[in-house]
Chain A
Amino acid sequence: MKKKQVLVACGAGVATSTVVNGAIEDMAKENDLKVDLVQIKISEVGGYEDTADLLVTTAMTKKEYPFPVINARSFLTGIGTEDTKKQILEELKK
């Protein structure tokens, strides 16, 4: 299976995406999946349109992308984390 490129984005690319990045890294390890994680600012997503398979973000985005977008706020609040993990896993296993 091709390694999926997952973009992890927040407004500044410093704080919340770091946490989400860590959570996805752990998930990938647990499930034995190879992922290419790229931590960026939401404003940089456009540059990855041709290569990314998935965007996981804590920032809102009005733009349409050619790949699925998953909201990752639950990793910060602890509310609904399992659902979000399931969504991400489903995409990674596609």
Chain B
Amino acid sequence: MNEVYFDESVILPDIHSATKEEVLTEMSQNLVDKNLVKESFIKAIIEREKEFATGLPTAGFSVAIPHTDIEHVNRKTISVGILKEPVDFGVMGDESETTPVRIVFLLAMNESHSQLSLLQKLMQLFQNEETLRYLVEEKSQKNIKEFIEEKLDFTKL
């Protein structure tokens, strides 16, 4: 199975957690429950975020793209979390700064150096303020799923 797992069950449109550790735990636990990642993924993703922050200040709402080593992953998955209130994440490549994140794309990748077109499309998505606004305001998992599927065009990967 090499397709990306992406459905409504990995879209969490209403996360109330107050810290990045809680956000990451909630999103990762959901993937553990579905057996998409190993139990070790939770700790690994939190540790990795501490060491190499993934917050990205964008033109609109800040985004974070937490990810970690491939050995913690059972199946390639992209999980989306929309945070009710902004949560500070460290800025990627800049130890001293944080950014108030509203949208988290948790990337569970199971091959290194892969998925270029998917990742490029994902990054393009961050560069569009209206797309980000839609994600922050939309409450329906189904709509978010369809919207992202269209943007990322999973079928052509």
Tally A-B pairs: CB < 8 A: 91
Residue contact B57 to A60, C-beta cutoff 8 Å: no
- State which of B69, B109, B123 has its C-beta within 8 Å of the C-beta of A19: B123
Cα–Cα, bound, A91→B54 (Å): 26
What residues of A have a CB within 8 angstroms of the CB of B126 in the complex?
76-78
Count chain A residues whose beta carbon lies closer than 8 angstroms to a beta carbon of B: 26
Asked if B113 contacts A18 (CB within 8 A), the reply is yes
Q: Which residue from A19, A60, A79 sits with its C-beta under 8 Å from B93?
A: A60
Size band of the interface chain B makes with A? 20 to 34
Which residue of B58, B93, B94, B109 is within 8 Å of A14 (Cβ)? B109
Check: B2 CB closer than 8 A to any chain A CB.
no
Q: Measured between C-beta atoms, what is the minimum distance from B19 to chain A in Å?
A: 20
Taking a contact as CB atoms closer than 8 A, the residue among A15, A58, A78 that contacts B127 in the complex is: A78
Among listed B34-42, B79-87, B114-122, interface-contacting one:
B114-122
Nearest CB of B to A7, in Å: 13
Closest chain-B Cβ to A44's Cβ sits at a distance in Å of 11
